[in-house]
Amino acid sequence: MYGNYLDKAAKIVAKKREANLKFEHARLTAEEKDDLLLKFHPDRIKKQFVELKIGPNKGQKAPIELAEMLQAKPRIEPEKIDLSHIDYETDVLVIGGGGAGTSAAIMASEAGAKVLLVTKLRVGDANTMMAEGGIQAADKPNDSPAQHYLDAFGGGHFDGKPELVYTLVNKAPSVIKWLNDLGVEFDKEADGTMVTTHGGGTSRKRMHACKDYSGAEIMRTLRDETFNRADKITVVDFTAAIEIIKNEKGEAAGAVLMNIETGEIRIAKAKVVIIATGGAGRMHYQGFPTSNHYGATADGLVIAYRAGAKLLYQDSLQYHPTGAAYPTQILGKLVTEKVRSLGAKLINKDGEVYIHPLETRDVNASGIIREVREGRGVKNDVQDAVWLDTPMIEMIHGEGTILKSIPAMYKMFIKYGIDIRKEPILVYPTLHYQNGGVEIDKTCHTNIANLLVAGEASGGVHGTNRLMGNSLLDVVVFGREAGIEAGKMFKKIKLSKTLSLQHVKNFEKARATAKIKGNAVSPKILPTYHHGNPEFDKEIPGATK
């Protein structure tokens, strides 16, 4: 039930539904895709990016909002931090409690390491939990990792680091087996065969799913396994890492931690540090809504950058084409690509299918933006948008398909009186994924010794565009790789006797030399939505004023 104007607009879609169901829009040519991206993708808007003035990526461009955080004042004054008082001493320090962080902790502990996992919210409060559509793996007879490689590498505009893409696709089948053995409830046929479906940009049906809450199911399993290893993994929640600590050789040797409720500062010393802090949707680049969890504020990029780690493709973000655009309460919430893989098509205000629903995400996002800007979008009081014609799903697959295959989508909309079995839904791109991040090699090493990065905080795996199902795969594959690597490393490393924050002091000097102005402090830790209300206009405890 949309109300008078939108009900009329939805009737236009319903009137043409039968014809649209039979109509198959041709795939765009490479030239058409390039032209569409150039004109309408947010990453191509030059005025939304600035040149970095300091740090390892000096001279390169970054989104305005990220550049501010990368070059902002640190939250601490190094000379006031007592590094001789050690609160935690461990073999492996994992920063982040999502899919990558828990996978890393599990594998490091399996190698005999004593692991400290710190997370600024709770274990599982992560983008992993919010992923819906599924996880890719080429484990069917008509598929192969080589085919998966071609899809992923091409889908990323051939910008991915080949060794990372190779690792991603070749480890995928064993990762699915590992998750299945741990207890992930994948969708299966009666005989136990895993159900697989298509995703945008994929040439084979290799999407393994758990209805439309795949990430939540995977995260539930990894979280439980982490807690089951309490003898080897110590979890400290509501605690953010705000600086990397180095030793006298310039190697990562721990982190400065801050309790986000009290502002209390703690020092963690470690042989190996793994950053697995996830994405940056809550930075709301260019004012876009986001599908990301509350803590996705690019913290890992900031602390790694200040420690001297190089970034890769920090100017590349993924705007998922189908974020909820109505009603206000769910603006930006993810409408999984699985809805389109089941047959729902994208429709403009005139009831026309204007693009193939399974073009790659950047292409479909650009297509929606084009329809809206050129006057073919559906106007409403929340966010001008296009229709996603969900009733097509049960016309194709039969009654009951939506409740069976995408129950979370049904529940998200029905609470606002919108029955997606009978009515189309309004969608518009939502800030979904950080394509770029800290540059790593195939075993998750950065250019800073003893500092590893895994998951969405890393850059290079997906090039400059990610295919559906490769994010859940990324966090588990490279989370495991980081944990396995740390499990080898810690046995050869002695805990540092001398700890230093000299790099933070050097960063401050660089800021002064570059005449960087402003009172912003970083890492951001949490977003603010108070709009200047003095009652809530307070800094996070312990923040530099």
Catalytic amino acids?
320, 340
What 3-state DSSP class applies to 362? helix
Q: Is 183 left (phi over 0), alpha (psi -120 to 50) or beta?
A: left
The three-state DSSP-derived secondary structure of 487-530 is: HHHHHHCCCCCCEECHHHHHHHHHHHHCCCCCCCEECCCCCCCC
Calpha distance 539→545 (Å, rounded): 8
> Which residues 6+ apart lie within 8 Å of 202 measured at CB?
136, 151, 467, 468, 469
Report yes or no: 133 and 337 within 8 Å, Cβ to Cβ. Answer: yes
What's the CA gap between 97 and 76, in Å, rounded?
Answer: 23
Orientation angle between helical segments 99-110 and 470-489, nearest 10 degrees: 30
C-beta of residue 291 within 8 angstroms of C-beta of residue 281: yes
Residue with tokens 């509350």: 294
Three-class DSSP category at 437: strand
Q: Tokens 């973000």 identify what position?
A: 317
* Extended beta strands in 109-251, E state: 115-118, 135-136, 196-197, 207-208, 233-236, 239-247
What is the DSSP secondary structure assignment for residue 368, as one 8-state letter? H
